[in-house]
Chain A
Amino acid sequence: MTKTRAKIGFSDELDVLSSIGSADAVGADLKKQTEAARGAAAQSGFIREGHQQKPLRRRRTGRNAQFNIKAKPETIEAYCRIADEHGWGLGETLEYAVELLEKQER
């Protein structure tokens, strides 16, 4: 083998070591700590988002049960049209429909 192996880059930026000051207590100031880490992360290419915890949903409707039904296409079309005209969701429309029917029955 005549080829030499490529440099891995362990000594990159070794020059910055000379500017290290005396040791401070770990985590003495967590806020400062966090900011320093942000700066160093950006400089060193540690910029991946990593694992993100799922953000909380802003709108909770409480409509969380599945309700599958079969209907005629024209009924579905009419149902969706009514919902769209009012700017309602399909679950919301169902609640209004049930409310109306209950009123009628009384």
Chain B
Amino acid sequence: MPVISFANPKGGAGKSTSALILATQLAERGGTVEVIDADPEQWIRQWAALGPEPIGLSVTSCTSSEQIVEAIAEAAQRAKFVIVDLEGTASLLVAQAVGMSDLVLIPLQASTMDAKGAAKTLKLIRNQSVMLRRPIQHSVVFTRTNAAILTRSMKNVRQQLSEASVDVLETAIVERAAFRDLFDFGGGLSDLDPDLVSNLEKAKENARQFAGEVVRSLRNMEELA
């Protein structure tokens, strides 16, 4: 069913973290989710190896541009949601996965470097849309934002995105220890110990809002189709 890819050729933009947050949230709400880890670093595979994955969530791996299209098509037959975590490179594999996606989320920290990576992804999406003769839905997601302050560089990137009429998710992924801890302890946010992880409840709320907004986008797309 819907294929959601996380793409930004700039490394460290927050692709794996936001992909994992979305995957665990959807699974915790009873959706069957298959994550295809297409990043050679295999962050999500490493996370899965740490401990029990939430029920309904499975992780597979595919880092070959020759096989990714088929891997996504097969996963879409099995799971209710397919989430593809892509490598931080402008590679053919990324292009192949983007072409197979119903929704491409472009995570970025509010820095010019991340934003330039996002701009490159937007260009790819536009070219793909033309070639495939179908629009590829996409949104930018701000990651690792400061809960309290709106920085000047964030304002700049937001303004430039708005001038270019690029859709930006209202919910930003806030910089929270809990999101980093997922990769240390495995499992979902609800498996973390509130005594050991600060602001866990706020992280959970942030994750819920983010997943909710993604689901709303998917629902809107279905209604439009």
Residues of A in contact with B (beta carbons under 8 Å apart): 5-14, 16-17, 19-24, 26-27, 30, 33-34, 36-41, 43-51, 53
Counting chain B residues whose Cβ lies within 8 A of the other chain, the interface size class is 35 or more
With A6-B112, A16-B127, A23-B225 as known contacts, state yes or no: A44 contacts B95, CB within 8 Å. yes
Any chain A CB within 8 A of the CB of B54? Answer: no
Contact A14 B126 (CB under 8 A): yes
Which residues 163-182 of B sit at the A interface, judged by CB distance below 8 A? 163-166
Judge whether B90 and A46 touch: CB under 8 Å: yes
- Output the nearest chain A residue to B157 by Cβ-Cβ distance: A8
In the complex, B50 has a CB within 8 A of chain A:
no
Q: Which of A8, A14, A39, A53 has the most CB of B within 10 A?
A: A8
Please state if A44 and B120 are interface contacts (CB–CB under 8 Å).
Answer: yes
Q: Compute how far the CA of A24 lies from the CA of B96 in the bound complex, rounded to whole angstroms.
A: 16
Tell me what chain B mostly uses at the interface: helix, strand, loop, or mixed: helix
Residue of A nearest to B95 (CB): A41
Nearest CB of chain A from residue B129's CB, rounded to whole Å: 5
A26 in contact with B100 (CB, 8 Å): yes
Question: Looking at the complex, which one of A10, A17, A41, A53 makes contact with B124 (CB distance below 8 Å)?
Answer: A41
Quick check: A50 and B126 within 8 Å, CB to CB? no
Q: Which of B94, B115, B133, B163 contacts A22 (CB 8 A)?
A: B133
6 interchain pairs, CB-CB under 8 A: A10-B161, A23-B225, A26-B102, A33-B100, A50-B63, A51-B91
Q: Is the CB of A10 within 8 A of B132?
A: no
List the B side residues contacting A38 at CB < 8 Å.
92, 95
Looking at the assembled complex, report how far the CB atom of A43 sits from the nearest CB atom of chain B, in whole angstroms: 5
